[in-house]
Chain A
Amino acid sequence: MSGAANPVMPSDITINADPEKLAEFESRIADGVLIEPGDWMPDEYRAMMLRMAEHHANSEIIGALPEGEWITRAPSMLRKLALTAKVQDEVGHGQMLYRVSQELGKSRDDMLRDLVTGKTKYHNCFNYPCPTWADIAMVQWLIDGAAIMNQKTLADGAYGPYVRTMNRINMEEAFHFKSGEDMVLTLMSGTKGQKTMTQQAFDRWWPISLMFFGPEDKPNAEELPPMKWRMKVERNDSLRQRFVNRFAPAAIDLGLKINIVTKDEKGFVTSTKPDEAIKLDDSTGNWSFTEPDWDEFWRVIRGNGPCNAHRVALRRLSYEQGAWVRRAIANEEVAVPPAA
């Protein structure tokens, strides 16, 4: 599963920077100039960038867990290889994003410790279960599709090290999305059982995909730090609309039904009814849709989702189980001759 930047970044902050320097910094950003590590930046910018990059890194690391559960059960050699590579990519993205965060002032070990003790967060969408193989297809198609849309905009951000990392990551996300699309197409071309399983997984993941981009921004979002400093460049609602415009017609063409669902506390669907709002408005070119359950969103983000405790616990187990390896190689030096 792909990570994504924090959908609910704090926007009400007090900035204590030198007004002249701040004005120059902001005018540079407004001119589209990217910020590099040696440049002056307000402390608040550094703190927010760290928080954003760390949250993104955490999301990659935790995002490896739900899909990781299905690697050993992948039903063909191609799927087995692809899913392993995909989950491996998430770990690689986490590793790169932790490096961006380190440069902003926090050690990797501290970040991992804060993650496994629940002091820091990761993307909400990883707190939901993947009970069937079709969930893996949906995650790669919908969630990675959403992540690409989001990360493409993040690559237009203003912080150089994050931007170059995002460009690198997006190259790999294209594989994740295409592999997911191929899986969904295969399942929807398959047996009755496969189609049923896919519709059920779609019912679980459609509302999570809508929530992926986060709640509606404040009316003056463009004047508040996250957007003014180009940490994010597009409103959550606008990204969500683009997502629906692309995926609603694709789902319909594949024979999937877009439903409004209710779920139990384990994340399983308890009832469905067709989303009557789904239709194309010819005048705007936009597809209308029913908003997801934002109460659920806040409940899950506060730690009460179906899998929050389980995800963190497994990552913590990994941290504890591997401690002896990290201790053994700490400070060790093995010399090899330099290249000619």
Chain B
Amino acid sequence: MTMQTMLTDPLAAMLLAAADDLLMLGHVQSDWTGLAPILEEDIAASAMAQDDLSHALVIYEFLGGEHDLDPDTIAFDRNLEDYRCCDLVTVPDDFDWSISLCKRWLVASYSKLGFDRFATIEGDIGQRCARLRDEAAIHVAHLNNWIIRLGTGSQESNDRLQQAINKLIPEAGMLFEPPDAGLEQDESFCCGRQEIFEEWVDQNIATLSQANLQGTFTLPDREAVGGRRGIHADHFVEQFEEMTEVRRTEPSAAW
């Protein structure tokens, strides 16, 4: 009952979209801990993955309070179709740092714009998101720096980043898919969809051009249905099953 009220609430839908992106992005990135190309960057990327997970948790805690749900239940125990993350976040990186980096960069810059807007909501969640916005900005700065560093580092690294960008860009527009819960036609929040998209593209293009990289971004039709409306790619399902593997063995247990 409470889960159902949360899932049909338009604000909750927007918040879940943001939180689920960060949950799955942090989940996938945390797997790199101990294996990244440079020890210092391993630590930094893991710290950012922890931030992403923590930011998702802040939102789950807020929604849990509003809808009388345990934050872990929201994070782990929904039906697959009730996760609202964009499938970009679970695109497999096949242990390729260029995919990991470019994916995090595209999502972080989007996520920061989301927090900018959530921060304007009156009340508790607005205040919570205002605090997270500054940390999201630090991620964007770090990732921009790396895109430029590797884009301009060597021909080899430029090629690798360009290939990663080419692979991810077709999925990336789906970050702007409106989640359901009556938001499909809503222009107010998700939110001037066109306007956020343009802001996001401008930032990305500025970084790409400093990095000697190219990318053309297109905004998919509102009707294009994907992860935000519960139609997930296989790679999301695989990640979700892995994430809940232990938890599902003893569904009622505390861990």
Contacts and interface: CB of A to CB of B under 8 A. Distances in A.
Direct contact, A vs B (beta carbon within 8 Å): yes
Interface of A: 61, 64-65, 68, 70-77, 79-81, 84-85, 87-88, 90-92, 94-95, 98, 108, 133, 183, 186-187, 189-191, 193-194, 314, 317-318, 321-329, 332, 334
A76 B247 contact: yes
A136 to B, nearest CB: 10
Nearest to A136: B246
B111 interface: no
A322 B95 CA distance: 9
B150 interface: yes
A327 B156 contact: yes
Interface string B14-57: 00000000000001101101111111111100110110011011
A91 B253 contact: no
Contacts of B154: 324, 327-328
A94 B40 CA distance: 10
B27 A328 contact: no
A79 B71 CA distance: 13
B162 to A, nearest CB: 13
11 contacts: A71-B30, A73-B243, A75-B255, A84-B49, A91-B43, A94-B39, A95-B39, A186-B254, A191-B253, A193-B253, A328-B157
Contacts of B245: 73
Interface string B146-185: 0001100110110010000000000000000000000000
Given A77-B72, A323-B37, 5 more contacts: A75-B244, A88-B47, A92-B43, A322-B37, A327-B157
Contact of B149 (A94, A190, A324, A329): A329
A318 B53 contact: no
A332 B34 contact: no
Interface residues of B, number: 51
Nearest to B47: A88
Nearest to B27: A72
B249 interface: yes
Nearest to B245: A73
Contacts of B244: 75
B60 interface: yes
A95 B76 CA distance: 34
Nearest to A57: B39
Contacts of A186: 254-255
B230 to A, nearest CB: 22
Contact of B37 (A73, A187, A321): A321
A324 B246 contact: no
A325 B38 contact: yes
A87 B254 contact: no
Given A68-B34, A71-B30, A88-B33, A190 B253 contact: yes
Contact of A80 (B28, B53, B60): B53
Nearest to B45: A88
B246 A73 contact: yes
A334 B46 CA distance: 24
A324 B157 contact: yes
Contacts of A133: 246, 255
A317 B95 contact: yes
